Amino acid sequence: MIFCNFVPDMKKFVFILIATITVLASCNDYETYGDMKEKERNAISKFIADSSITVISEDVFVQNGYKTDLKRNEFVKLDKSGVYMQIVRNGCGTKLQNGETANLVCRCREFNISSDTLGVVTNISYSAASPDIMRVSCTSGTFTASFTKSVAYNMYYVYGSAQVPSGWLVPLTYVCVGYPEKEGDEIAKVRLIVPHSQGHTTASSKVIPYFYELTYQREA
């Protein structure tokens, strides 16, 4: 009688033990937001090292006349946003003024830093007809924007959202966004390392940093 009662109890015990081990294993596999941010920081640090990037502070950036030295592959780390920025070309025309709203044509090359893979590309010949158009407003130095048109393989199309990555707006404080009208006029061009907090919806939800090579010009 004792033995008969013991067998079911043993089976129950083994079942509970297996269930407990499974739960503990699942907990060990779970990544916290802090874990993901640490992985992001490590991925950005590795990308900076592998790309031979020289990071300068905002103070040095200001002292240098808001310029980044391309020969030294300088990027300024902007403390408020956490974005790393290199100004390749300052652009023609003028900056967006307070109270102004304008349509800007943007072409980019996007690179997923975490997975080391290429993303959206709209800055080369086969995709040049599919730029993103973003409508941007400037209010007391703060920029807000949304994409206006989803065209095959541009950012709006690929990510299914009119949300402009906040990191894309950071350079507008520093570059001009005119339309080339005469020989020698060049559109603004920047390179950016954008942490997830300043990225698009996929970047923010999955804690992924992206690198961008990006141009801006006013819509004709």
Please write the tens of the pLDDT for every residue from 46-95.
999 999 999 999 999 999 999 999 999 999 999 999 999 999 999 999 99
Q: Residue 126, Cβ neighbours under 10 Å: how many? A: 9
When comparing pLDDT for 129 and 48, which is higher? 48
When comparing pLDDT for 5 and 179, which is higher? 179
Alpha carbons 56 and 74: distance in angstroms, whole number: 7
The single residue listed with the structure tokens 């640490």 is: 38
Alpha carbons 117 and 104: distance in angstroms, whole number: 27
| CA 148 from centroid of its chain's CA atoms | 19
In the beta sheet, which residues pair with residue 142? 139
User: Which architecture does CATH list for 33-218?
Assistant: Roll (3.10)
The single residue listed with the structure tokens 């060990």 is: 28
pLDDT at residue 129 in the model: 73
Amino acid present at 193: I
pLDDT at residue 130 in the model: 85
* pLDDT surpasses 50 at 21: no
**pTM of the full predicted structure?**
0.86
